[in-house]
Structure 1
C-alpha cells in the first residue's frame, strides 16, 4: 500500500507541474507575441530595439535606466545584469551619437529576439521532459499491475507463464532445498579436531575464538537493550542495503525512520521477541512464508523470501551482531602464529650480508610481499562479513550491487581487483621464474547457499563454541515453511530441509564460518599461501606443485562438508614456460589452436576446465584475459529482448545503461595496467559490435529521437540531450566507450615493458651500490661488518654479486614492488581540457548549479567534474548552448526532477 501511495503522490506532483508548465508556456507565448507586434510597429529600429530590451530586462528583474537608479536588481545574475546594462548604455548613446554604427543596434536586436526564441525552446523542452517522466511513471505502474509481458513477433517464446529456464531452476531449487542432506557429522568433527589441534600453537589460538564465542553468545542471549530507537535506525539502514525486502515493504521500513514514536513501538516489540527467543517462530500467512524468483542479468534466478517486517528486523539485527563478532575473531586468528605466512624468509646470514654491503637494508614496506599480504587482509579475508553493524551485509558482486561501506570496496570492485591481481601475480611469477610452471585454479561451490547442509552448520558452530540455545534458534531460522507466490494462497507449502535463505545476514554468517575452515585448511596445506575467496567464489595460484596441494585440501574440505564444486565454473590453467620479455600477439600467434587456446598438457591433480569470469577467459599463452565473443552474442540477443519490452523512453535509457554500460562493462573486466592496452582495444571493438547489432541502420540517439518524434511530435532533438544530466533536463544516457578511449590515451606501456623498466632500474641501483661500496675506506667497512655481526671470513673485499643482490626480490625489492603496484592499478582517464567556450558556458550557469561534488555531473567548477562529464560537455556543449541558449535546458522548479530521481533510484527489474 505504501508503494502505491508513493506512486500516486508522484503522479499527482507530475500532473500538477505539467499543468502549471503548460499554463506558463501559453501565457509566455501570448506575451511574446504582443511584444513582437509592438516592436514591429515601432517608429524606428532604435525604438524597436529599446522596447525589446526593456521587456527582457523587466522579465529578468533588471532595472532600466529611465526607471531611476534607486533599488537593486531583483533576480538576475551578475553576468546577465552587466550584459543588459551595457546594452542599455549603447542604446542611450545611439540616440545622440551619430558615430555609433547602426549595425550595433541590429546586433542587440538580434540577440534579444534570439533570447525570446530560446525561452520558447526551453519551455517546449521542459514540457517534453515532463511528458517523458509521466510516461515512465505510468508505464512503471502498469508493469507492476501486469508484471508479465506477452511476447512479440521477435520473441515468440516469451510467454505469459514465464521463461522455461525459470521453471527449470525452480524445480532444481526445490529438489535441493526440500530434501534432507546425508552427511556424516562424526566425520566432520574428526576433520575439525585434526585441523585445529594439529599443534599447540594452532589449538591455543583457536581456543581464544571458542571462548570469545561462548562469551558473546551468553551476553547477547541476556541482552535486554538490543533494540532502542538509535539501534533500530542503524538496523533499518543496514537492512535496506540488502535486497531482501520487496519494494513495498522497503518503503514501509523507510517510513519508520522519520517517526521516533513508531520506532519506539517497534523497538519494544522486538525487545519482547528477543527476550523470548527460545520460543520464537516464523510469522506466516496460511502456514507459510511467500517466496518468489527474481531474475539476474546473468540469466540465473534467485529465490527470495517475502517475510514479515518484524521478523526481518529481528533476524537482521541478530545476524549483524554475529557477523561482526566472527569477522573480528577470525582476524585475530589470522594475525596469530597459527596462520602461516607465505613467501621466502630471508635467512639471517643473507640478511646480515645485505646489511654489510648495502647498509641498513631493512625494507619492510612497498615490496611485492608486503603489498600482497596487506591487500589480502583488506580485500579478500572474510570480507563478506562487515567490520561494524552499520556497514550492513555485502552483495555478491552483481552488476547492480551497491557499495556497502565508503571505507571498503564494493563486492564488484573487489572482484575486478582480483582479476587484476591474478594477472599481476602471473606476470610477476613468469618474470621472476620463467622456467617454473605457474598455475591458476578457479572454482566455486554448486548452489552453495541452497545446498548447505543444516547438520554441517550446527556442527561447525558448535565446534566454534556456540551453545545449544543458539543452535536451537538457528535451526528454527533455517527450517522455514515456504510457498511460492505464483502457486496462490492454497498452493503447497514445504519446510526447508537444506540451505540458507537469500540475502540474510545470518546466512552470510553461516556460509563464511564454514568457508573459513577451507581458508585455514589451504593455508596449512600450502605452508601459508593465500586462498583468494569472495564468499564461495575462490581462486588460487602459485607453482604447479603448490596448486596441486591446495586443490587437494579444497577437495578434502568439500567432500567432508557434503558440498560439491560447480563444474561450469571450475578449471585450471598451467602457463607454459617462456621468456617474460616475449610479447605474444593473440591474433597472430602460431602457438594457438583454432579456438585461440594454447595447447597445454593438463595435470591430473588439477581440475579440468577453463578459468573464466564474466565474459572473460584466461588465455594461457598471452597471460591475460580475452573476451568470449560467443557469450557476448548470446547476451546481445538478451539485451534486444529486454529493450523491446521497455514501454517508456526513460525506462529504455535506464535498461540500456544497466545492461550495456554496467553489465557488459563489468563483465568485460575493468581495464588495468596488468591487462594492458590490448584489453581496452578489445573492449572498444566489442562495444562497437554490440551497437551495430542492436542498431543496424543507425545508433541509439537516432532511435530515441525517432521514439520522441513518434510519441510526442518533437523534432530536431540534439544528440546531447540524451547524454545530458537529468537535473539539467537530459536523460543521462551512458556512453560506455568514452571512458575507454580516455583510458587508452593514458595507457601506453605493455605489462612486459613495465616489468622490464623496473628491472633496469634495479640493475642500475646495483651498479650504484657497488660504486658506493668501492669508495668506502677500511674503517667504514669494519664498522659495517661489526654492525652486521659478521666475521671477516663471512665477507670479501669484492662487492656482492648481482645474483645475490637480485635474490629475494619479492621480499626485498621496492623496484619490483613499484612494478607490482603499477600493474594492479587502473589507468587514469585522459581529461578534456577547459576551453574559453567551456568556461563561458559554465560561468553562465545559475548560481544554484555551483556544486563541487564530483558526482554531480556538469557543474560550474570544471576542475571538480568527473572525466566522463568533461567529455560529454566538450562533445555536446556547443549544440546544447546553440539550441537552448544555456547548458541548463530546463528550469528545475518547472519540471518533475524529484520524480525522475525517485524512479532512477529503483533497481531495474528484468523481464522473465
Structure 2
C-alpha cells in the first residue's frame, strides 16, 4: 500500500536493498557449495571418507553470521576436534563406526541449520518487500461492501462524516450567550470572606504582573525554544501529516530556525495587531485519531502554530503555578477534618502516642492530587507540550508523565477507596461524567467572563478573542463560505488546554467549596467518589455549574454506582445519574466488583477482525496486532494491581482466550496457525516454527506480541483476595487497641497524671478523664483515614502493582545466551521479562532448527526499518465521532 511505501525514506530503502542483496548472495553461494559437498559425500566409499568430505566442506562454507568471533571460534573448535578424532579412528578400533556416524550427523545438522538461517533471512526480506509493496493484497478479501457496514463502531460512510461536519458547523457558527454577571457572581460567591478574597486578589495581581512581564520580552523566540515548540507540535495531532513532515525538517536546520525566530519575534513585538491572516479561511476537516475517533481539525499555518503554541504554553505554566496555591491553602481548600486538640490530647492520654497525619492515607491522597492529578492536562512548561488528550505520547515507566499512566494510577486509587470505604462505613458512591463537545462548544462569553474573573488584563483578552473568532471554512476550496467562529476553540491546540483548564478549574473550586469534596478531573472527564450524600451534593454542584456556564453533560458517558451494605436510601439514590462507571472496558458493577465489559470487547473484536483482514502484508498485520492486542486491550482492561485481585487477571486471560477463539475460529483459536496459512499462501513457505513469529525483531523474528505472557510474568504476584488484606488491617487495628489498653491498665496513678498534663494540659477541667475506663474502640479508630498507619499500609499494599517474576535461566541453555550476547550484543540479562519468557520458551526449538538463539545475522538485519516499525502508530479503524 502506498502509505506504507512512503513511510520509508529513500536512504533506508537503499540500505535495506544492499543488505538484502548481500544476504541473497551469501545464501546462493552457500547452497551451491553445500550441494556439491553432499554430492561428493553420497559418492564416498565409507564412513570415514564421508566425514572427511563433510569436514572439508564445513571449513570452506561461509556461515550466515561469519565474522562473529564467538561463532567463528566455535566452528573452528568443532572442526579441529572432529579432525583429531577422525585421525584417531584410523589407528584405534575403539573409535567405532557409530561414533564416526554421529560426527557425520552432527556436521550435516549444522549445515542444515545454516540453510535454515539463510532461508528464513530470505523470508524476512520477502516479508519486508511485501510490506513496502503498494500492490500487496489484503490478508482477507471481504465479501461485504463498504456501504453495507452497520453497527455503532462502523460509521465509516461519507454520510456519517458529513453529519459530523454539519453538527460541528451548527455549533461553532452559532453563538451561545451566557450571562457574564451571573458567572462573575457565581464565582465571587466561592471567595467570600477575607482570607478567600485575599487569595483571589493575589491570583489576579499575579496575572497582571505576568502579563506585563511576558509582554515586555524583546525577543522571546530563539533556536532552543523553537525546538521545544516543534517537539510538542510533532507529538500531538494539531497539524496534518504534511505540515508535520515539513516541521520535522526544521529541527536540525539552524539557518531555518534562526529565520523563523526573527519572523516570530517581529510578530510578537506587534502582538496587539496580530491576526489570523487567513482571509480565505482556515480549512476544518474530519481527521481520524489513533483511537479511531474522528475529530474536526484545523489546518493551521506552521508559523502561526509555533507562535500561538509558545504564548498558550507560557500562560499555561503561569496559571498552573498560581492556581495550585488554592488547594495548597488549608483554610481555603476543604478536606476531611482532623482531630480537635482535645481529641488529640485524649488519644495521647490513653495510648501515649500523638496522632500524626504523616501516618494517614488522607495526606498520601492529597500529595498524589497536588503533585500528579491536579490540573493534570495543564503543562508547567514548554518541555511538557500541550496535548490534553495525550494519545500520541511515547511509553514510559513513569505513570505521572502520561495521561494514560495518570488514569491508571487514579483507577487503582478509586478501586482501593471503594474497598476501604465500604469496609469501614458500609457504603460508598462513585460518579463519572464527561462534558459534551466541551472544547468545540465552549461559549465565548463564558470563556471571557472566566478570564476576566481571574484578572487577565484586557490586552490579552483582546488577543484571545481574536484567536477564538477564527475565520473558518468547511470545504477544501479557499475562500468558499468563510465564516467567523462564534463558539469553541481548536482541539488538541495548546489554547484548548489553556482555556479549557482555566474554565474547568472553576468547577474544581466550586465542588470543593460547596460540597467539601475534591473533584478528580482529566480535562473534561470527571470523577467523584466518597460518602454517598456528600458525593450526591458534589454532583448537584456540577449540574448547577454547567447550567450557569453554558456547558452540557454528556449523558452517554455519565453514570454512578451507589454501594451500601444496608437498604439503599431511595431519595439519595435518585440524585445520582444513571449509567455505568468505569475506565476503558473495566467497569464497576452494582455489586462492587470490577468486571470487563464483554459487550465492548465483542464490538472491538469484531472491528479488529475487519481491520486485521484489511492489512496488506504480514508485517502490517503484526503491527496492528501488537498495537491492539499487545497494547490497547491491556490498557483498557485496567492494569493489574492488588486492589483488583487475582480474579481480575484471570478475567483478562480468559477474555484474551475468548478473543483469539473468535478471531481464529477456523484455525483452532491459534494466531500462529492463521499466520502459517497466510505465509504459505503468500510465499509458499509452510514449515514455519512458532519462534519465528514471537522472536524479537533484533534476532530475526517478527516480534509479534503474545498478550498472555504480559500477565503470566506476574500472574501469581497479585493478592488473591483484596478483602483479605482489609481483614488483616482490622486485625492489626484491634491488636493495637488491645496492646494500648493493656499498657494503659498497667500505668500507675502518677504515670496517668503525667500523661494527662502532657496531653491535655494543667487545667483541672480534664481531671475527670482520670476516672474514665480506657476509651472505646470507636474513639480509638475515629479519624483513622487521617492518622492510622495500619490503614495507610493497607492502602499502599492494595495500590501496589505486581512485581514481575522472571522465568529462570536454565543451566543447559545458559551458554546459548552467551553466544547470543557475542553475536547480537544482547544476553539474558539484557532482555525484558517478556522477552526472557519468549526466549526460554523457544530456546530448544531455536537451537535445534537454527543452531543458535537468533535467526538472522545482526549485520544483515534492516535495523533502521525495524526502529521505524516500532515507532509507527496504528490507528483503530472503528469509528466513533464526537
Q: Could you tell me the TM-score, scaled by structure 1's length?
A: 0.88
State the distance in 2 between where 1:124 and 1:382 align: 55
* Structure 2 counterparts to residues 298-309 of structure 1, below 5 A: 300-309=293-302
Classify 1:220/1:88 alpha carbon distance in 2 versus 1 (closer, same or farther; 3 Å): farther
Structure 2 residue 588 is matched with structure 1 residue 618: yes
The alpha carbon displacement at 1:742 in A equals: 4.1
For 2:184, the equivalent position in structure 1 comes to 189
Structure 2 residue 255 is matched with structure 1 residue 261: yes
The superposition leaves residues 743-777 of structure 1 with CA deviations (integer Å, 9 ceiling, x where unpaired) of 43223431211100111122222223333344445
State the distance in 1 between where 2:381 and 2:291 align: 31
What secondary structure is seen at the aligned counterpart in 1 of 2:157? coil
Classify 1:46/1:393 alpha carbon distance in 2 versus 1 (closer, same or farther; 3 Å): farther
The superposition leaves residues 499-518 of structure 1 with CA deviations (integer Å, 9 ceiling, x where unpaired) of 11121112101100111000
Of 203, 211, 221 in structure 2, the residue corresponding to residue 209 of structure 1 is 203
Structure 2 residue 703 is matched with structure 1 residue 715: no
Classify 1:329/1:347 alpha carbon distance in 2 versus 1 (closer, same or farther; 3 Å): same
Structure 2 residue 309 is matched with structure 1 residue 316: yes
C-alpha contact (below 8 Å) 2:438/2:551 kept by paired residues: yes
Structure 2 residue 622 is matched with structure 1 residue 653: yes
The superposition leaves residues 376-412 of structure 1 with CA deviations (integer Å, 9 ceiling, x where unpaired) of 22332101012332122245265x6535895724211
* Structure 2 counterparts to residues 739-758 of structure 1, below 5 A: 739-758=710-729
Structure 2 residue 7 is matched with structure 1 residue 19: no
Classify 1:502/1:490 alpha carbon distance in 2 versus 1 (closer, same or farther; 3 Å): same
The alpha carbon displacement at 1:889 in A equals: 1.0
C-alpha contact (below 8 Å) 2:281/2:479 kept by paired residues: no
What secondary structure is seen at the aligned counterpart in 1 of 2:133? helix
The alpha carbon displacement at 1:522 in A equals: 0.6
Q: Which has the higher contact order (CA 8 A, sep 6+)?
A: 2
Of 313, 338, 354 in structure 1, the residue corresponding to residue 347 of structure 2 is 354
Structure 2: tracts of 5 or more residues without a match: none
The alpha carbon displacement at 1:337 in A equals: 3.7
C-alpha contact (below 8 Å) 1:403/1:411 kept by paired residues: no
Classify 1:46/1:246 alpha carbon distance in 2 versus 1 (closer, same or farther; 3 Å): farther
The superposition leaves residues 183-232 of structure 1 with CA deviations (integer Å, 9 ceiling, x where unpaired) of 22222122222223x11111111222212211221122221232112222
* Structure 2 counterparts to residues 151-162 of structure 1, below 5 A: 152-153=143-144, 155-157=146-148, 162=157
State the distance in 2 between where 1:404 and 1:317 align: 25
Moved more, 174-183 or 403-412: 403-412
C-alpha contact (below 8 Å) 1:210/1:464 kept by paired residues: yes
Structure 2 residue 770 is matched with structure 1 residue 795: yes
The alpha carbon displacement at 1:538 in A equals: 0.6
C-alpha contact (below 8 Å) 1:283/1:307 kept by paired residues: no
What secondary structure is seen at the aligned counterpart in 1 of 2:333? coil
The superposition leaves residues 315-354 of structure 1 with CA deviations (integer Å, 9 ceiling, x where unpaired) of 2222221111111111222212453242231121221122
Structure 2 residue 493 is matched with structure 1 residue 504: yes
The superposition leaves residues 9-48 of structure 1 with CA deviations (integer Å, 9 ceiling, x where unpaired) of 4433333332332222112222323344455566764465
What secondary structure is seen at the aligned counterpart in 1 of 2:430? strand
Structure 2 residue 241 is matched with structure 1 residue 247: yes
Structure 2 residue 107 is matched with structure 1 residue 136: no
State the distance in 1 between where 2:692 and 2:434 align: 44
Moved more, 512-521 or 770-779: 770-779
Structure 2 residue 345 is matched with structure 1 residue 345: no
The alpha carbon displacement at 1:419 in A equals: 2.4
C-alpha contact (below 8 Å) 2:824/2:858 kept by paired residues: no
State the distance in 1 between where 2:569 and 2:843 align: 52
For 2:828, the equivalent position in structure 1 comes to 861
For 2:33, the equivalent position in structure 1 comes to 31
The alpha carbon displacement at 1:59 in A equals: 6.1
What is the number of equivalent residue pairs in this alignment?
863
Structure 2 residue 857 is matched with structure 1 residue 887: no
Classify 1:880/1:73 alpha carbon distance in 2 versus 1 (closer, same or farther; 3 Å): closer
State the distance in 2 between where 1:391 and 1:638 align: 34
For 2:784, the equivalent position in structure 1 comes to 809
C-alpha contact (below 8 Å) 1:368/1:810 kept by paired residues: yes
Structure 2 residue 739 is matched with structure 1 residue 768: yes
C-alpha contact (below 8 Å) 2:31/2:115 kept by paired residues: yes
For 1:759, the equivalent position in structure 2 comes to 730
For 1:111, the equivalent position in structure 2 comes to 106
The alpha carbon displacement at 1:821 in A equals: 1.5
C-alpha contact (below 8 Å) 1:655/1:908 kept by paired residues: yes
Classify 1:667/1:33 alpha carbon distance in 2 versus 1 (closer, same or farther; 3 Å): same
Q: Could you tell me the TM-score, scaled by structure 2's length?
A: 0.90
For 1:560, the equivalent position in structure 2 comes to 548
For 1:874, the equivalent position in structure 2 comes to 840
What secondary structure is seen at the aligned counterpart in 2 of 1:732? coil
C-alpha contact (below 8 Å) 1:450/1:500 kept by paired residues: yes
Moved more, 509-518 or 273-282: 273-282
Structure 2 residue 525 is matched with structure 1 residue 514: no
The alpha carbon displacement at 1:120 in A equals: 1.6
The alpha carbon displacement at 1:840 in A equals: 2.9
What secondary structure is seen at the aligned counterpart in 1 of 2:339? coil
For 2:411, the equivalent position in structure 1 comes to 419
What secondary structure is seen at the aligned counterpart in 2 of 1:844? helix
State the distance in 2 between where 1:814 and 1:380 align: 24
For 1:695, the equivalent position in structure 2 comes to 664
State the distance in 1 between where 2:214 and 2:137 align: 46
Structure 2 residue 814 is matched with structure 1 residue 822: no
Classify 1:77/1:261 alpha carbon distance in 2 versus 1 (closer, same or farther; 3 Å): farther
For 1:603, the equivalent position in structure 2 comes to 573
Of 316, 327, 332 in structure 1, the residue corresponding to residue 325 of structure 2 is 332
For 1:470, the equivalent position in structure 2 comes to 460
C-alpha contact (below 8 Å) 2:561/2:581 kept by paired residues: yes
State the distance in 2 between where 1:169 and 1:867 align: 45
For 1:855, the equivalent position in structure 2 comes to none
The alpha carbon displacement at 1:910 in A equals: 4.3
C-alpha contact (below 8 Å) 1:739/1:829 kept by paired residues: no
Classify 1:119/1:829 alpha carbon distance in 2 versus 1 (closer, same or farther; 3 Å): same
The alpha carbon displacement at 1:818 in A equals: 1.3
C-alpha contact (below 8 Å) 1:242/1:395 kept by paired residues: no
What secondary structure is seen at the aligned counterpart in 2 of 1:408? helix
Classify 1:99/1:488 alpha carbon distance in 2 versus 1 (closer, same or farther; 3 Å): farther
Of 630, 633, 636 in structure 1, the residue corresponding to residue 602 of structure 2 is 633
The alpha carbon displacement at 1:279 in A equals: 2.4
For 1:591, the equivalent position in structure 2 comes to none
State the distance in 2 between where 1:249 and 1:306 align: 9
For 2:451, the equivalent position in structure 1 comes to 461
For 2:170, the equivalent position in structure 1 comes to 175
Structure 2 residue 441 is matched with structure 1 residue 439: no
Structure 2 residue 806 is matched with structure 1 residue 831: yes
Structure 2 residue 270 is matched with structure 1 residue 276: yes
State the distance in 2 between where 1:181 and 1:151 align: 46
* Structure 2 counterparts to residues 898-909 of structure 1, below 5 A: 898-909=864-875
Moved more, 460-469 or 740-749: 740-749
What secondary structure is seen at the aligned counterpart in 2 of 1:365? helix
* Structure 2 counterparts to residues 665-684 of structure 1, below 5 A: 665-684=634-653
What secondary structure is seen at the aligned counterpart in 1 of 2:298? strand
For 1:122, the equivalent position in structure 2 comes to 117
* Structure 2 counterparts to residues 487-498 of structure 1, below 5 A: 487-489=476-478, 492-498=481-487
What secondary structure is seen at the aligned counterpart in 1 of 2:506? helix
C-alpha contact (below 8 Å) 1:522/1:531 kept by paired residues: yes
The superposition leaves residues 766-789 of structure 1 with CA deviations (integer Å, 9 ceiling, x where unpaired) of 223333344445554444333324
What secondary structure is seen at the aligned counterpart in 2 of 1:845? helix
Classify 1:651/1:140 alpha carbon distance in 2 versus 1 (closer, same or farther; 3 Å): farther
Moved more, 405-414 or 542-551: 405-414
State the distance in 2 between where 1:282 and 1:665 align: 43
Classify 1:783/1:888 alpha carbon distance in 2 versus 1 (closer, same or farther; 3 Å): same
Moved more, 471-480 or 381-390: 471-480
The superposition leaves residues 796-844 of structure 1 with CA deviations (integer Å, 9 ceiling, x where unpaired) of 4754433332222111111111111222222334432221244233122
